[in-house]
Amino acid sequence: MPLVTWGDRGKGFDMDTAVVGSRPIDSVLTNAGGRLRPSQAEAEAAVRTLIEWAGDDPEREGLAGTPERVVRAYEEFFAGYNEDPVALLSTTFEETAAYDEMIVLRDIRLESHCEHHIVPILGKAHVGYLPAGRVVGISKLARLVEVFAKRMQIQEALTSQIADTIQEVLKPRGVGVVIEAAHQCITTRGIRKPGVSMITSRMLGSFRDDSATRRQFLAMIGSPRSGSNGS
C-alpha cells in the first residue's frame, strides 16, 4: 500500500484502515488533522524509550507498568481531540421567558497541557454571554471548556476557541471569556517562577463594543483570586 498523506484525503482511500509501512493494523487516524495515530504498543514503546533516555531501567519492577499507565493517562489528558465542540452546544432552549440578561459561569476548573513542553496548565475559566433568544445548559459551557482544555494548548488559543465556538453556535449578542492559570513550564522548569499566573481574555460582540457590558461581566467574575492559578 502506498504512503497515505494529508493530500490523499478524499481521494478514495479508506482512511480508517490505512496503514503506513509496517505499522500495526490498529494504527488509525486521529479525528483531527488526518494524521495516522500510532498503536498503543507503539505509544508504550515510546514511553519506554523516554524512561531509558532519562537514565532509568523501564524493566525494573517499579517502572514495568509505567508505559501502559502513561498511555492511559494520555487518553484522559487529551480526550478533547475525540469530541466535537460544535455538536456539544447543538442542543439549546428557546423557552427562556424572554430572558435577555447576561449569563455567567465563573470559576470553571481548568486543567490543560502546554503544547510546548506538555506540562500542566492549571487554573480557572470564566464564561459569559448575552443570549439572543437561545440559551444552552450551563453544564455544556463547562464541558466546552473541558473539550478544548483537554488538548495540547497555549492559553491564548484556548481562550479564543471557547469564545468563538459560543459565538458561532449560539449567535448571542456578545461573549466574554477570561482565563487565569499557572503554567508549570515556567513554575517548575526553565525560569522557575512559582506563584505567577497568566490572564487572557476574549470579548466578542457587545462585550467588545459596549464598555458598560464589559465592565458588568468583569465585575461579575471578580478580580483574579488567590489560589486560582493552581500552584
Q: Please pick, among 113, 115, 168, 184, the residue that the annotation labels catalytic.
A: 115
Told to judge if 94 belongs to the known catalytic residues of this protein, a careful annotator would answer: no
Mark whether 116 is an active-site residue: yes
Residue carrying the nine cell digits 455538536? 87
Place of cell 517562577: 193
- Rounded CA-CA distance 214/174 in Å is 10
The H or E element spanning position 140 is: helix 138-149
Active-site residue flag, 126:
no
Among 44, 153, 180, 185, the active-site one is: 185
| CA dist., res. 213 & res. 207, Å (int) | 6
Q: Which of 52, 116, 156, 168 is catalytic?
A: 116
As a whole number of angstroms, the distance between CA 202 and CA 163 comes to 6
Residue 24 C-beta-side C-alpha neighbours within 13 Å: 9
Tell me which of 114, 153, 156, 216 is the catalytic residue: 114
DSSP code of residue 11: T
Q: Which of 44, 161, 183, 184 is catalytic?
A: 183
Active site annotation includes 161: no
Residue 42 a catalytic site member: no
| CB contact set of 118 (below 8 Å; sequence gap of 6+) | 152
Q: Is 155 an annotated catalytic residue?
A: yes
Catalytic residue among 44, 146, 153, 155: 155
Active site residue 185: yes
Active site residues: 114-117, 155, 183, 185
